[in-house]
Amino acid sequence: MLPASGRHYTRPRRPEGLPRRLERRRIYVLPTRFGLFVTLLLLVMLLGALNYNNNPALLLALLLTTVAIASTFSAHLQLSGLQVDSVSADPVVAGAPMRLRVSLSRADARPRRGLQLALGDAVAFGHLVDADQVEVDLALPTHQRGWLDLDRIRISTTQPLGLVRAWSWVWPDTPLLVYATPEAHAPALPEGGGDPLHTRVHASGDELHQLRPYRAGDPPRSIAWKHSARRDSLLVREYEKPVGVDVLLDWRQLAPLPGEARIARLARWVDLAEREGRRYTLQLPGNPVLGPSQGDSHHHLCQRALALMPHG
């Protein structure tokens, strides 16, 4: 990540729209440690050749210097004309790594090798040789729900000889969405209305659904002792209970909980309702009523509304 003191002297100085082509004025070149060592070695060779009037040594030193200068121009050309087409990522829950997809292309036939993309601690590599477009993935950490504003992405290369590093910065004006983290041990969904023939597994249901292995936390009264004796392992009864298809997820019904706990529980309930194939309605303060509906689009709208709820 670029230090704050250097942001005023490098381009771009503010977020920018994509696609964006890397022009020569925003490409910077400096020697690497290996390049500094080679430079010092060439200076010693030149001084020694001049001191002893050794023409072959002087010719060799000048030839190597020419190669080093040519590699500097070549490193600059690796980035010149490179275009960042788009930056995208699918939403993830807070705390999970986000896969950032950076699409690169070239407008000419020059191959681009050894491209390094860096954003914070995330680093990835790519090259453009046979194809005119490539997609590079960066794994970004996420810490809190809401919009994730991207910092500058550094694109660099040390090709062809590793003597210099050429780099440029891209600052995409592309906020990415981070979902709220669902509650880990949320209670069951609220009772719904609609079709009474729809059933789900419930600890206090009416009809026996199945027997399953015992899990920590299961109540002792649900253990099937006779079946367990035959299997030499504990089995637990699971029942089915009629429930309605439509379920209402209302912010006001969770009044005893603090704000972030309400968001976490509603996020879990949205996932559960979607998994069980039930239509659900989400009611949040300051937002239009979402639903009743189901499906990927409705799930995203609900999780987006929860992620963008005011903090605190």
Give one DSSP letter per residue of 266-309, joined into a string: HHHHHHHHHHTT--EEEE-TTS--EEEE-SHHHHHHHHHHHHTS
pLDDT value, residue 129: 86
Are 241 and 277 spatial neighbours (Cβ–Cβ below 8 Å)? no
Per-residue pLDDT of the chain (312 residues; tens, 9 = 90+): 555 545 666 778 899 999 999 998 899 999 999 999 999 999 999 999 999 999 999 999 999 999 999 999 999 999 999 999 999 999 999 999 999 999 999 988 889 999 999 999 999 999 988 888 999 999 999 999 999 999 999 999 999 999 999 999 999 999 999 999 999 888 888 876 555 444 444 444 444 456 778 766 577 777 887 777 777 778 877 766 555 568 999 999 998 889 999 999 999 999 999 998 889 999 999 999 998 999 999 999 999 999 999 986
| pTM for the whole structure | 0.77
- The tokens describing 28, both together, are 């910077």
Q: How far apart are CA 230 and CA 236, in angstroms?
A: 13
Q: How far apart are CA 198 and CA 159, in angstroms?
A: 63
Ramachandran sector of residue 170 (left: φ over 0; alpha: ψ -120 to 50; beta: rest): beta
Q: How far apart are CA 160 and CA 19, in angstroms?
A: 26
Are 26 and 169 spatial neighbours (Cβ–Cβ below 8 Å)? yes
pLDDT value, residue 305: 97
pLDDT value, residue 203: 45
